[in-house]
Chains A and B, each alone.
Chain A
Amino acid sequence: MDPVAVDILKSEEVVAGNTPAATPRSWYSNVLVVAAVLFAAVSVGFVGSIFWSSLPTWVHHGGTLLTSSAWVSPAGPFGGLSMITGTFETSIIALVIAVIIGLGTSISIVFFIPRRFRTVVATLVELLAAIPSVVYGLWGLLVIAPWMEVTVNPWLNKWPFAKTIFGNSGQEFGTSLLLASIVLGIMILPTFVAISREVIAVVPQDLQEASLSLGATRWQMIREVVLPTAKIGLFGATFLALARATGETVAVALVAGSVANAQFHLLYPGTSIAAWIATEFGESQGTEISALMALGVILMLLNVGLALISRALVSRQRKVLARV
């Protein structure tokens, strides 16, 4: 999941630094070109076949997909609004959780943890990112959901405005959009920490010392100098984590409750685009599959958009630091 994210950052650095000595021209170079063309074909096929399969839906139900929340299988109409809202709702809450906790975690790792423990913590973070998402989902479903149902939800419902935010229906659900958001937040935390830690760690030491020498406290150093210098890269990390959250499938499918529910209420069951594809696909045929493919196209556009923003930000951060 997330060594890749860090690799993406590195690959641009390497590309900028090292130029190949020569372009080989031989049978060997032909093999390389064939492989490259094959990969290009796969990527075109990847986008093309999903889009092609979704075409009937865009032609016949294009408007419904984006505006309606009624999903009636097997014949339609297929409204994707509740999945789209669910995706944004869960991802953004997850992101808030991950950014607040992750920023504190990264700062602690870079500034407060003794150097010899740093590699251990970094390895742990990477391992946590490697845990398959179905395992997070399992844990959320079998451990956290019962606890939410019995303990957390009744407590939350005692809050003022609980009805508006959480939607107390008199019935408590274990699996809910809130649970999905929390599990997602835990899942994208390692991704965010892996990148933000690197971005924070490369803020030049002498800028930190300069601020301390002016009488800044450690927190002022972090807040006024380190974080502003790392700002763009941190936004990059945020967008990448958001991209991860929007694309997360099975964990959400397990803990959100798998209900196409257009309510915004957090304690109700709901679903997301990716989770809905995963839960509905097995029982679908014909037009419904095409509608799910159309949801896939939306997911792809959303994901590519976020990934491109993230890449642009991170490479701009690199330029800023190069100038320092």
Chain B
Amino acid sequence: MTEIQAVPTTQVVTPRVRGPIEMQLKNVAVSFHGRTAVRDCTFDVEKNRVTSLIGPSGSGKTTLLRALNRLHDLTPGAKVSGQIILEGTDIYRGNLTVTELRTRVGMVFQRPNPFPTMSIYDNAVSGLRFNGIKKKSLLDEAAESSLRSAALWDSVSSRLKVAASNLSGGEQQRLCIARALALEPEVLLMDEPTSALDPVATLRIEELMTSLKSRVTVVIVTHNMQQAARISDDCAFLLMGEDRAGELIEFDTTEKIFNNPVDSRTLDYTLGRFG
């Protein structure tokens, strides 16, 4: 696996050999009641890398992310067009039920949202239980493994039966990550997962994301450019167009987007000139 090198901007970078592809987006557009919210999104999400979606508010990052596990299905008037292909299957038109898709593409939300009526353990294995897994040994194993991956096991292993609402905000968010990981998804979507957290908790989640790469492919929406630069390998930059619909401006490795973008708007944004 190729890691990004911290290279001076002036240095010419040889084109990286692309790894295997997890998810392909082809001309993806989302509209609500006929009004386009985001469009023209075409890029590949590579396996075992962190891909970030950045852009000012209103550029449709979250809308695009939610299209990746069909969360718009329940929104009246929402329509997703184009193709989103997960390992060869079109997730909207292919032979894949929405519940199956969501076990393969997990999601972590802006606000830590563990189920308030469940214990830490029950939260961690809730996804498995939804999917009909009842075997105690399997649940125990998954709970431990996912809580370990979320760097939470050491602090909660002695109080697994305690209500999840007793955890701190940062711990709750890590529990939500563990909850998503327990299903062993291929892709983990994260919607500004640190925006409700303090700086220390944010740092821990960021470290976590990097370490998770070997286990899942991560797609993260963030409004924080430093965060995108720190943690992501690839980066998609979205911007609101003339008609207030978001569109993809540029997709490349994070290193390229931040140091040597093709589009001048990308440069303006990463330099903090707007947004």
Contacts and interface: CB of A to CB of B under 8 A. Distances in A.
Interface of A: 114-115, 204, 206-207, 209-217, 220, 224-225, 228-229, 231, 320, 323-324
A128 to B, nearest CB: 26
B102 A206 contact: no
B113 A210 contact: yes
Interface string B103-117: 100110111010111
Interface string B76-107: 10000000000000000000000110110011
Given A210-B109, A224-B126, A215 B115 contact: no
B116 A216 contact: no
Residue of A213, A217, A320 with highest tally of chain B CB at under 10 A: A213
A215 B165 CA distance: 22
A105 B118 CA distance: 26
18 contacts: A115-B76, A207-B115, A210-B107, A210-B179, A212-B102, A213-B102, A213-B180, A214-B127, A214-B179, A214-B180, A215-B100, A215-B103, A216-B99, A224-B115, A228-B118, A320-B116, A323-B165, A324-B113
Report, nearest first, the 3 A-B pairs whose CB atoms are least far apart.
Answer: A214-B127, A215-B103, A213-B107
A209 to B, nearest CB: 6
B4 interface: no
Contacts of A211: 115, 126, 130
Contacts of B176: 210
A208 to B, nearest CB: 9
A128 B2 CA distance: 67
B130 A214 contact: yes
Nearest to A213: B107
Contacts of B115: 207, 210-211, 224-225, 228-229
Nearest to B105: A213
B74 A214 contact: no
Contacts of A115: 76
A30 B263 CA distance: 73
A215 B183 CA distance: 9
Given A214-B130, A229-B117, A323-B116, 5 more contacts: A210-B113, A211-B130, A212-B74, A224-B115, A320-B116
Nearest to B69: A213
B162 interface: no
Contact of A214 (B100, B103, B165): B103
A268 to B, nearest CB: 43
Contacts of B117: 225, 228-229, 231
A155 B127 CA distance: 47
A217 B129 CA distance: 12
A215 B110 CA distance: 19
Given A209-B71, A323-B165, A324-B165, A215 B113 contact: no
Contacts of B211: none
Contacts of A204: 113
A214 B106 contact: yes
